[in-house]
Each structure stands twice: as C-alpha cells, then as structure tokens.
C-alpha cells in the first residue's frame, strides 16, 4: 500500500511540470488490476496516461532475436 502512495506522490509532484517515462511489458489496460486499490489506481493512471504519448512495440524481443543468432553459430 505504501508503494502505491509513494508512486502517486512522485507522479503528483511531477504532473504538469516534468516529464515521466514509464515502461512495461504489461499492457496499460492491465495496470489498474495490477495496482490493486481502485482509488489509487485511478489517480496514478490519470497522472500517467493523461497527455501521454504511448508507443506500443510489436515483434520478438531483442533477447529472443539475439538468442536465435547465437544459437545458430557453431563453435570451431
């Protein structure tokens, strides 16, 4: 519970004055359930998503691509 309030306080302090970058492998529509407390989730997401630029990436992760490349190279 304290971590949610800490996050909200940080976002509140930065809201409208500074940029905040958030990254996640979890889609934004799942964040509300992850945060848990409906009231805090609404407040946190409002400050994160309002006036936000969202970039949704598609495709394999770079780790998977790199693993495929290294697994095909045979040691001499």
Tens place of pLDDT per residue across the chain (76 aa): 788 899 899 999 988 888 888 888 888 888 888 888 889 998 988 888 888 888 887 877 778 777 777 766 555 5
pTM (2 decimals)? Answer: 0.65
pLDDT given at position 75: 59
CB 55 within 8 A of CB 24: no
Cα 49 to chain centroid distance, Å, stands at 11
pLDDT given at position 26: 82
Residue with tokens 């304290």: 2
Domain containing residue 68: 2-72
Number of domains in the chain: 1
């Amino acid at each position: 519970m304290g971590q949610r309030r800490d996050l909200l306080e940080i976002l509140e302090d930065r809201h409208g004055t500074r940029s905040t970058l958030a990254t996640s492998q979890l889609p934004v529509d799942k964040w509300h359930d992850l945060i848990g407390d409906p009231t805090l989730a609404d407040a946190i997401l409002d400050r994160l998503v309002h006036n936000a630029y969202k970039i949704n990436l598609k495709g394999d992760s770079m780790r998977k691509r790199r693993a495929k490349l290294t697994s095909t190279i045979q040691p001499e």
